[in-house]
Homo-oligomer: A and B are copies of this chain.
Amino acid sequence: MVNKRKIFNDPVHGFINIPYPILYDLIEHPYFQRLRRIQQLGFTNYVYPGANHTRFQHALGAMHLMEQAIAALRSKDQKITEKESEAVLIAILLHDIGHGPFSHALEKSIVPDVSHEILSELFMQELNRQFSGKLDLAIEIFSNRYPKKFLYQLVSSQLDMDRLDYLRRDSFYTGVNEGTIGSDRIIKMLTVANDELLIEEKGIYSIEKFLVSRRLMYWQVYFHKTVISAENLLVKTLLRVKEISANGTEVFSTPGLRFFLYPEVEIKSLLKNPDPDKRKILLDQFASLDDSDITVSAKVWAGNSDKALAMLSNNLVTRKLYHIEVQNEPFTNKLTDLYTEKTIKYLNIDRSMKDYFVFCGEITNSAYQTGDDQIKILLKSGKIVDITEASDMFDQRVLSRTITKHFLCYPKGVIS
């Protein structure tokens, strides 16, 4: 008999137990195992070399925090049945199963129709077929159709276990220790009232700290200008491949990637096909794709006869990134035109290729989202208020303000 009481060693959380046998079986499934080959942060390791952790680790970590959250809420007499507990653990384990390699870059280039959110739910449904309906409740919770709404909030909200794990994990692996959050303490402060996930009043400072750490991680890691530069280099590389292949020109690609570059059937129609067997074709193809397909393809493209593709791919593989400038105001046309002209000369490329080498873009973020999904505090008085009201440090207008930054990329060496 297989021992289903396996323990994982996690550098972030220590020992991680697998509390239900079905979780073990799901982890063993090839759809889940593939997450071992997909890094959580894509090309962020071009800036933070330690950031090679995978979506596999993150999913286990989020499941571990969920187990702690369930225990914390139960200790405050919040009723959660064993069935619900199992289901919410499944939901968090699989919440990211629809992620492909370098998701953000691929969604912006070759698979624009296939968002990871939709895919995650399709994968869950397919797994539910294979597991004879044992994921019914998990899917209900995941898609927010289950009456106890707070269970959904544990899976998806501003304080969900996904976020608590990835912020701590990304901070740990990048070595940006300042970004670390007190996930243990935040979880101890969770409570439920009126079927809503809340934070006890004495947790206010932990939440303030969480919001500031999150913001720090955004600007120092996720939106680090060199990370933005690297991600855009991948997007431009893939766009060039797509353009070439759209002309019917044969370009090398790994079999896994080929399906998406030269699709024999329309992906959109597969995606929405009512026949699960048809949808499974897409899922299996998607599941065969991971980071290695992009890496191998880029290495081969570096020798392609298309000069632009060869240059872009070579730059990607050898980490010759665009120079990137970031500022609060948009860049003027005058400036970008000037840089474009210089670049055309410097690289000796055809004018039609210019947008692959000089381009602008935007980064936007807000430290706190308003709307339905607010962080709410249960005051000792019993009153429920928004964190921005409970905290005397933050002004809601300031906190929820969307920050937009503008960037301009161009090849290094153009401006000397």
Interface of chain A residues 349 through 372 with chain B (CB within 8 A) = 367
Q: CA A254 – CA B301 in complex, angstroms?
A: 12
Interface of chain A residues 281 through 327 with chain B (CB within 8 A) = 288, 290-293, 295-296, 299-300, 317-319
- Give the segment of A152-160, A173-181, A259-267 that binds chain B: A173-181
User: A173-216 CB contact bits vs B (8 Å, 1 = yes)?
Assistant: 11111101110110010000000000000000110110011011
Interface of chain A residues 386 through 400 with chain B (CB within 8 A) = 392-395, 398-399
- Asked if A50 CB lies within 8 Å of chain B CBs, one says yes
For A252, the chain B residues whose CB sits under 8 A away are 255
For A208, the chain B residues whose CB sits under 8 A away are 212, 215-216
Task: Tell me if B49 and A15 are in contact (CB < 8 A).
Answer: no
Q: CA A42 – CA B185 in complex, angstroms?
A: 25
Q: CA A383 – CA B406 in complex, angstroms?
A: 20
Task: Tell me if B394 and A398 are in contact (CB < 8 A).
Answer: yes
Decide yes or no: A50 and B182 within 8 Å by CB, A292-B295, A292-B296, A367-B393 being known contacts.
no
Interface of chain A residues 214 through 240 with chain B (CB within 8 A) = 215-216, 219-220
Q: CA A118 – CA B398 in complex, angstroms?
A: 41
Return the contact of A48 from the options B9, B292, B395 (Cβ within 8 A).
Answer: B9
- Asked if A56 CB lies within 8 Å of chain B CBs, one says yes
Return the contact of A178 from the options B181, B219, B319 (Cβ within 8 A).
Answer: B181
Closest to A403 in B: B392
Task: Tell me if B182 and A178 are in contact (CB < 8 A).
Answer: yes
Chain B nearest CB from A409 CB (Å) reads 17
Task: Tell me if B37 and A295 are in contact (CB < 8 A).
Answer: yes
Interface SS, A side: helix
Return the contact of A216 from the options B8, B206, B295, B398 (Cβ within 8 A).
Answer: B206
- Asked if A112 CB lies within 8 Å of chain B CBs, one says no
For A54, the chain B residues whose CB sits under 8 A away are 45, 49, 52
Chain B nearest CB from A149 CB (Å) reads 27
The 6 closest A-B pairs by CB, nearest first: A292-B292, A292-B295, A178-B182, A9-B175, A11-B175, A205-B216
A-B contact pairs, 12 of them (CB 8 A): A11-B50, A15-B188, A30-B318, A33-B317, A39-B52, A177-B182, A178-B181, A178-B206, A178-B209, A209-B213, A392-B398, A394-B398
- Extra contacts, 10 of them, besides A10-B49, A11-B172, A180-B180 (Cβ < 8 A), are A11-B50, A33-B319, A36-B319, A49-B60, A178-B209, A205-B220, A206-B216, A292-B292, A292-B295, A293-B296
Residues of A participating in the B interface, judged by any CB pair closer than 8 Å:
7-12, 14-15, 28, 30, 33, 36-37, 39, 45-46, 48-50, 52-54, 56-57, 60, 172-178, 180-182, 184-185, 188, 205-206, 208-209, 212-213, 215-216, 219-220, 252, 254-256, 288, 290-293, 295-296, 299-300, 317-319, 367, 392-395, 398-399, 401, 403
